[in-house]
């Protein structure tokens, strides 16, 4: 009936008929004259009426569900990180109590680095010319660089060099990874043969990770 | 007891620049910002001016000690008075609506404590308390962790403290592995100032500084969301979700400078966002750009964010009819920020011929097209995996951002203020993928620290999600 009215295009017709069927209010207000019997002119139905019943609510609910799901997932990640943090603190305290039992300073959390530093600190006197020596392929390794930087930090003003061969002749102490010791000893021997300088580096301290070599005078 | 006094020393070391900054901040009209946010901005503003003054003292040959540090506020105060007298032309008219648009802090001040807190917000506060309690405990319970942070920043701070100045050998003596010699001195100067206030060199307690900065990051994010009229619970939730990021936690317990740079960038970007939102208060733009330029005084990465911010605001306002007026505001802001925060360090670097440690433009030119594509592909894949796969680094935010773009993309595109943090986020990621082409090291070396690179884009993504939440609230009210 309404579709056949002049001036209402197909879109209006569709939206109106859908509104009439699905949303009671839109239909009622639009057909106010027919059903309610009032003198109000029929208003143009709002475009939102084109959405089937429940779609808007469904979309809103779906968005709410997605947002809630994402936030819950993020909260779970935060909880997981807090657990990791707690685990780290717990490990540090366990290490700390172990250290204290062995008569060392409580805060010695990071075993590897601390062992390196402690060994170097014990064995290398201040003002020494010290060289951190490693094989060339490891020069750009971040772990090696970290260790060198850390040594420099704790042993300041001891100068720590990279593996530049010529500097080895000037150094009175060498620090290297124990895994590379045999390799580096060969390198040292080669260097000795090349330069003809009688160098005799002997091990003055070692642990399971690191070795400190001292040049015999 | 001695430890407690040294802890107090660290607090005093952070409070003095903050008071200094608050003195300067009073010269700016920031009516739309809460008092809490103003204090947080004051810390960074004060620290920038303070560390730059210490740097200038050192360049002129003055010894750097606690006396010279305390001299700075005394010297700055008359300068500020002079500027105040001379700068009456820069009075920015502030409307009543600006004064009233102070976010929830106005609304919340009228509520009682019982009304302010609900169970969810109390639980979130407890979570945040546990998180930061553990961060402080972890920072103090380990001797040496993440040695690059300790060695690069801590070592420089130690040399500055022990030498009572900035020796040139810190930059020129290549046998001393204070690597990243091209890194700016803003952060080492802050650490050295903390050592000065502690009265002795304490490499153990100094790790409280990044932990305290992480608390400031949390408070800043909370204040930003609260300032945008998000509810207390939502503000707390979003701030906590970012602070639970594992790399943020890692940077808080070591001496990395990333948290301080993060604080600079989020405050700087938010101030520019406030300017773009209401366009009335150019002071926000001045301060925002100043803080971003201050970020370049912390890490070289900060310079990138400053340049990106300048580029983005120029792109956003390019087609405006009142372009001349905008340029009249922008050019002085960019000029002042660059001249005060960036130029002194660049000139110093140029004078000492300190090149960038890891990057060279010639590297990119030497590569073949296939090699460039290989690096780009590798970097992009790592970036994507970091964004969408790593649970510990809170990858949820990127999914949330996709959701936001899918549902509110059209509305965000119409709003330049909302577009701004998104533009910065994605352009920064793109730039980081591209820059590895110019690296002197293999890209894999940089990609190991890609999580740290993503810290600032992640924070900006959370900010965008928060702003979109406010947008959705206002849409549903309509």
To 10 degrees, the CA torsion angle through A171, A177, A180, A181?
A: 60
What percent of chain A clears pLDDT 70, i.e. is strictly above it?
51
pLDDT at B303: 92
Query: Do B141 and A96 count as a contact with CB atoms less than 8 A apart?
Result: yes
Tokens representing residue A156 in the block = 């300041």
pLDDT at B359: 67
Interface probe for B, chosen from A62, A70, A87, A139 (most Cβ of B below 10 Å), is A70
Query: Quick check: B31 and B98 in contact, CB under 8 A?
Result: yes
Q: Which residues of B touch A104 (CB under 8 A)?
A: none
Q: Fill in the DSSP letter of residue B87.
A: G
pLDDT-derived band at A29, boundaries 50, 70, 90: very low
Give SS3 for A214: strand
Q: Which residues of B touch A105 (CB under 8 A)?
A: 143
pLDDT-derived band at A194, boundaries 50, 70, 90: low
pLDDT tens-digit map of B381-439: 888 888 888 766 777 888 888 888 888 888 888 888 899 999 999 999 998 888 877 77
pLDDT at B91: 45
Q: What is the mean pLDDT of residues A64-93?
A: 85
Nearest Cα neighbor of B292 from B251, B347, B338, B239 is B338
Query: Quick check: B279 and B415 in contact, CB under 8 A?
Result: no
Tokens representing residue B327 in the block = 């340029």
pLDDT at B319: 66
Q: Which residues pair with A130 in a beta bridge?
A: A160, A173
Contact map slice: B 259-298 vs A, CB within 8 A: none
Tokens representing residue B18 in the block = 């903050």
CB pairs under 8 A between A and B: 139
Report how far apart, in Å, the C-alpha atoms of A70 and of each of A5, A57, B30, B407, B455 are. 49, 20, 35, 15, 19
Q: From CA B148, how far away is CA A85, in angstroms rounded?
A: 20
Q: Which residues of B touch A86 (CB under 8 A)?
A: 134
Task: Report the chain B residue with the minimal C-alpha distance to residue A159.
Answer: B176
Q: What is the mean pLDDT of residues B215-241?
A: 92
Between A165 and A87, the more confident residue is A87
Query: Do A77 and B137 count as a contact with CB atoms less than 8 A apart?
Result: no
Q: From CA A114, how far away is CA A108, in angstroms rounded?
A: 6
Distance in Å, alpha carbon of B155 to nearest chain A alpha carbon: 5
CA B40-B46-B52 angle, 5° bins: 140
Least reliable range by pLDDT among A197-211, B247-261, B274-288: A197-211
pLDDT at B156 over 80: yes
pLDDT at A40 over 70: no
pLDDT at B171 over 80: no
Contact map slice: B 156-185 vs A, CB within 8 A: 158-159, 175-179
pLDDT at A20: 36
Give SS3 for B441: coil
Residues 6+ apart with CB under 8 A from B194: B9, B10, B13, B14, B206, B209
End-to-end Cα distance, chain B? 59
Place of tokens 């000492």: B352
Contact map slice: B 69-98 vs A, CB within 8 A: none
pLDDT-derived band at A45, boundaries 50, 70, 90: low
Residues 6+ apart with CB under 8 A from B459: B217, B221, B242, B262, B265, B266
Least reliable range by pLDDT among A99-113, A140-154, B46-60, B101-115: B101-115
CA B291-B292-B295 angle, 5° bins: 90
Q: What is the mean pLDDT of residues B431-459?
A: 80
Q: Are strands A210-215 and A173-177 parallel, antiparallel or unpaired?
A: antiparallel
Query: Do A74 and B158 count as a contact with CB atoms less than 8 A apart?
Result: no
Q: From CA B226, how far away is CA B112, in angstroms rounded?
A: 17
Query: Do B151 and A75 count as a contact with CB atoms less than 8 A apart?
Result: no
pLDDT at A198: 58
**CA within 13 Å, CB half, A20:** 17
Residues 6+ apart with CB under 8 A from A213: A173, A174, A175, A176, A201, A202, A203, A204
Query: Quick check: B226 and B27 in contact, CB under 8 A?
Result: no
Q: From CA A145, how far away is CA A126, in angstroms rounded?
A: 21
Does the ipTM surpass 0.90?
A: no
Distance in Å, alpha carbon of A45 to nearest chain B alpha carbon: 18
Between B45 and B1, the more confident residue is B45
Q: Which residues pair with A212 in a beta bridge?
A: A175, A205
Task: Say whether pTM exceeds 0.90.
Answer: no
What percent of chain B clears pLDDT 90, i.e. is strictly above it?
34
pLDDT at B301 over 50: yes
pLDDT at A136 over 50: yes
To 10 degrees, the CA torsion angle through B358, B291, B155, B161?
A: 150
pLDDT at B115: 59
Cis before A157 (ω within 30): yes
Nearest Cα neighbor of B9 from B72, B74, B66 is B66
**B414 contacts chain A (CB < 8 A):** no
Least reliable range by pLDDT among A119-123, A157-161, B87-91, B324-328: B87-91
Contact map slice: B 238-257 vs A, CB within 8 A: 240-241, 243-246, 249
Least reliable range by pLDDT among A134-143, B47-56, B261-270, B468-477: A134-143
Tokens representing residue B99 in the block = 């004064």
pLDDT at A38: 45
pLDDT-derived band at B159, boundaries 50, 70, 90: confident
- Look over chain B and give the mean of its residue pLDDT values, rounded to a whole number: 83
pLDDT tens-digit map of B94-106: 444 444 444 445 5
Q: From CA A66, how far away is CA B476, in angstroms rounded?
A: 17
Distance in Å, alpha carbon of B457 to nearest chain A alpha carbon: 16
Task: Report the chain A residue with the minimal C-alpha distance to residue B445.
Answer: A142
φ and ψ of A205, to 5 deg: -170, 140
Interface probe for A, chosen from B125, B140, B141 (most Cβ of A below 10 Å), is B141
pLDDT tens-digit map of A1-26: 344 444 444 344 343 333 333 333 33
Q: Which residues of A touch B399 (CB under 8 A)?
A: 70, 73
């Amino acid at each position: 009936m309404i579709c056949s009215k002049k001036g209402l295009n197909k879109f209006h017709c569709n939206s109106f008929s859908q509104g009439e069927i699905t949303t009671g209010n839109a239909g009622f207000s639009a057909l106010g004259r027919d059903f309610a019997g009032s003198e109000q002119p029929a208003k143009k139905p709002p475009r939102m009426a084109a959405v089937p019943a429940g779609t808007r609510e469904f979309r809103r609910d779906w968005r709410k569900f997605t947002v809630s799901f994402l936030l819950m997932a993020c909260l779970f990640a935060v909880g997981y990180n807090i657990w990791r943090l707690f685990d780290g603190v717990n490990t540090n305290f366990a290490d700390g109590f172990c250290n204290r039992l062995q008569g060392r300073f409580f805060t010695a959390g990071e075993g590897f680095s601390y062992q390196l530093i402690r060994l170097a600190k014990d064995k290398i006197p201040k003002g020494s010319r010290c060289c951190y020596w490693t094989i060339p392929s490891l020069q750009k390794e971040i772990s090696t660089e970290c260790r060198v930087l850390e040594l420099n930090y704790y042993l300041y003003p001891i100068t720590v060099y990279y593996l530049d061969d010529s500097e080895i002749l000037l150094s009175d102490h060498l620090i290297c990874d124990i895994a590379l010791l045999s390799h580096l000893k060969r390198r040292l021997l080669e260097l000795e043969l090349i330069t003809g300088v009688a160098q005799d580096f002997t091990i003055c301290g070692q642990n399971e990770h690191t070795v400190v070599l001292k040049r015999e005078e | 007891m001695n430890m407690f006094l040294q802890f107090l020393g660290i607090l005093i070391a952070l409070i003095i620049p903050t008071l200094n900054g608050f003195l300067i901040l009073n010269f700016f009209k920031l009516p739309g910002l809460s008092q809490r946010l103003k204090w947080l901005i004051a810390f960074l503003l004060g620290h920038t001016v303070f560390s730059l003054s210490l740097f200038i003292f050192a360049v002129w040959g003055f010894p750097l000690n606690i006396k010279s540090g305390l001299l700075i506020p005394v010297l700055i105060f008359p300068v500020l008075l002079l500027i105040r007298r001379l700068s009456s032309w820069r009075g920015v008219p502030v409307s009543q609506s600006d004064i009233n648009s102070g976010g929830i802090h106005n609304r919340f001040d009228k509520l009682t404590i019982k009304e302010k807190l609900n169970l969810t917000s109390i639980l979130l506060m407890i979570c945040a308390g546990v998180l930061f309690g553990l961060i402080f405990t972890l920072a103090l319970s380990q001797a040496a962790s993440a040695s690059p942070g300790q060695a690069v920043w801590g070592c420089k701070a130690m040399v500055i403290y022990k030498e009572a100045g900035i020796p040139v050998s810190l930059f020129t003596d290549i046998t001393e592995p204070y690597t990243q010699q091209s890194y700016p001195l803003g952060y080492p100067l802050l650490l050295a100032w903390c050592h000065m206030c502690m009265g002795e060199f304490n490499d153990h307690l100094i790790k409280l500084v990044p932990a305290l900065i992480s608390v400031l990051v949390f408070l800043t994010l909370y204040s930003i969301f609260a300032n945008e009229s998000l509810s207390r619970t939502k503000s707390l939730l979003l701030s906590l979700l970012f602070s639970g990021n594992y790399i943020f936690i890692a940077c808080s317990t070591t001496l990395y400078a990333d948290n301080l740079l993060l604080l600079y960038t989020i405050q700087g970007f938010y101030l520019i966002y406030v300017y773009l939102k209401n366009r009335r208060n150019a002071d926000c733009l001045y301060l925002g750009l100043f803080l971003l330029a201050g970020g370049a005084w912390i890490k070289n990465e900060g310079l990138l964010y400053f340049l990106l911010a300048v580029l983005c605001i120029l792109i956003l306002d390019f087609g405006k009819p009142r372009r001349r007026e905008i340029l009249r505001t922008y050019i002085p802001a960019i000029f002042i920020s660059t001249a005060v925060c960036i130029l002194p360090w660049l000139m110093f670097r140029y004078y000492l011929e300190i090149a960038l440690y890891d990057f060279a433009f010639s590297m990119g030119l030497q590569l073949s097209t296939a090699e460039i594509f290989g690096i780009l592909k590798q970097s992009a894949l790592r970036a994507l995996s970091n964004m969408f796969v790593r649970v510990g680094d809170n990858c949820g935010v990127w999914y949330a951002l996709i959701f936001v773009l899918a549902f509110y993309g059209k509305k965000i595109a119409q709003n330049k203020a909302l577009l701004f943090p998104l533009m910065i986020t994605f352009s920064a990621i793109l730039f980081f993928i591209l820059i590895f082409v110019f690296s002197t090291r293999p890209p894999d070396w940089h990609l190991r620290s890609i999580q740290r690179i993503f810290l600032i884009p992640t924070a900006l993504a959370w900010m965008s999600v928060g702003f979109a939440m406010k947008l959705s609230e206002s849409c549903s009210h309509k």
